[in-house]
Amino acid sequence: GQQLNQSPQSMFIQEGEDVSMNCTSSSIFNTWLWYKQEPGEGPVLLIALYKAGELTSNGRLTAQFGITRKDSFLNISASIPSDVGIYFCAGQNAGGTSYGKLTFGQGTILTVHP
Amino acid sequence: EPEVTQTPSHQVTQMGQEVILRCVPISNHLYFYWYRQILGQKVEFLVSFYNNEISEKSEIFDDQFSVERPDGSNFTLKIRSTKLEDSAMYFCAPQAPGEETQYFGPGTRLLVL
């Protein structure tokens, strides 16, 4: 089946630093999504990318959809303690019986030291 | 962001017992998805449901699992005979027409003893 490789697995940074994480896939997705998950809660959508090459920002977050539709990155600028959590990338299919199905990366655990 | 509720929030059950997890969408959702997340692992697709039938299911979704939307509102996931390895968070993620992605419910934490 489809698999996403997400890296790094974990990051330990100081408050104020910038963060970058990325996902690659062997297959094409129509949509790339980035979610954040905090302990005991469901994933919360941060950014959705719909077009190859698209660069989208949401506050301090910036994400890009790779030209090949097989990769994406997420940047967080000027990190703050509340950025702590697990960040997941997810690829979404658009057609056929797999419509809407999300395939998730393994997650990046982000720890921010004040 | 549409709000989705899931019940129960936590469930502890004995191995071999049946459990029913419920998802209550708030909007005119047509597509429904269940995902599972074992503690410390990634979120995994279980099943998609559209027009009152399963669209796709993963290898995890074996004969012990079933889904239905009995009253046109609640969307349920049933595990007939739970196993220890079914212990996980189960997330419902409906999607409405015109929405280009899914929003996750808060999840049900299932613990099988």
Q: How far is B30 from chain A (nearest CA, A)?
A: 11
Is there a contact between B101 and A45 if contact means CB atoms under 8 Å apart?
yes
Give the chain B residue whose CA is nearest to the CA of A46.
Answer: B103
- Residue B101 makes CB contacts below 8 A (sequence gap 6+) with A31, A33, A45, A48, A92, A100, B95
- Residue with more model confidence, A96 or B44: B44
What is the rounded average pLDDT of the residues A81-99? 86
Task: List chain A residues with CB under 8 Å of B60.
Answer: none
pLDDT bucket at A96, cuts 50 / 70 / 90: low
The region of weakest confidence among A18-22, A59-63, B37-41, B72-76 is B72-76
Q: How far is B17 from chain A (nearest CA, A)?
A: 24
Residue B92: strand pairing partners: B34
Chain A residue numbers touching B33 (CB-CB < 8 A): 100-102
Q: Is the pLDDT score of B1 beyond 60?
A: no
**A100 contacts chain B (CB < 8 A):** yes
> Which pLDDT value is given to residue B52?
82
Considering only alpha carbons, which residue of chain A is nearest residue B92?
A42
**What tens digit of pLDDT does each residue of A44-69 get?**
999 999 999 999 999 999 999 999 99
Q: What is the pLDDT of residue A111?
A: 97
Mean confidence (pLDDT) of chain B: 90
Closest CA to A25 of A72, A58, A67: A72
Q: Region of A83 please: left (phi>0), alpha (psi -120 to 50) or beta.
A: alpha
What pLDDT does B2 receive?
A: 59
Helix-then-strand count for chain B, H and E? 0, 10
**Cβ B106–A42 below 8 Å, yes or no?**
yes
How far apart (Å, rounded) are the C-alpha atoms in residues A2 and B63? 23
* pLDDT of the residue at B88: 97
First to last CA, chain B: 35
Give the Cβ contact number of residue B111 at 10 Å: 14
Judged by a CB distance cut-off of 8 A, whether residue A41 touches chain B is yes
- The stretch B69-78 carries a mean pLDDT of 85
